[in-house]
Amino acid sequence: MKRTIFMLAMAVAFFGFQSCDDEKPIDPNKLPQAAETFIDTHFAEASINSVMKEYDDFTVRYDVYLSDGTFIEFKKSGEWKEVENRVTGVPASVIPEAIQTYVATNYSDAFVVDIERDRQFDVELNTGLDLDFDLNGKFLRFDY
């Protein structure tokens, strides 16, 4: 019986800590160099309002909020994972050229308000349309 209780307690402790989310504000100067370079390159006009460092299921990410309303999520390495600005749109310099061309050709009155990069690009337009592209910028499908 004691062994069963011990094993149950260990399982609860392990799985409880494993899925624990933890976030804390950090100084913008503590961002990875790649993240700082990305912000300086694509958002020179904006300043950093806040940075949150998040620990989630053994991964680290940085959520950055800029003065122009942009939200950027960075991986631990400083590589961008998501860029969102629902007011003015994501800067063209962030969007791969093939995706820009596709959107301009097929949705000339629309602009990208959110782009997420993982195993593919997930793109949301200001019209609410969601599009999926491969990592080379080739259109795959509509995301419903």
For residue range 4-29, list pLDDT tens digits in order: 444 444 544 555 444 456 889 999 99
Task: Supply the mean pLDDT for the chain.
Answer: 90
- The CATH classification number of 21-142 equals 3.40.1420.30
What proportion of the chain, given as a percentage, has pLDDT over 70?
85
- Provide the pLDDT for residue 20: 52
pTM: 0.84
Distance of CA 61 to the CA centre of its chain: 9
Torsion, Cα of 68, 69, 70, 75 (10° steps): 120
The 3 state secondary structure assigned to 29-91 is HHCCHHHHHHHHHHCCCCCEEEEEEEEECCEEEEEEEECCCCEEEEECCCCEEEEECCCCCCC
- Provide the pLDDT for residue 4: 46
For residue range 21-61, list pLDDT tens digits in order: 688 999 999 999 999 999 999 999 999 999 999 998 889 99
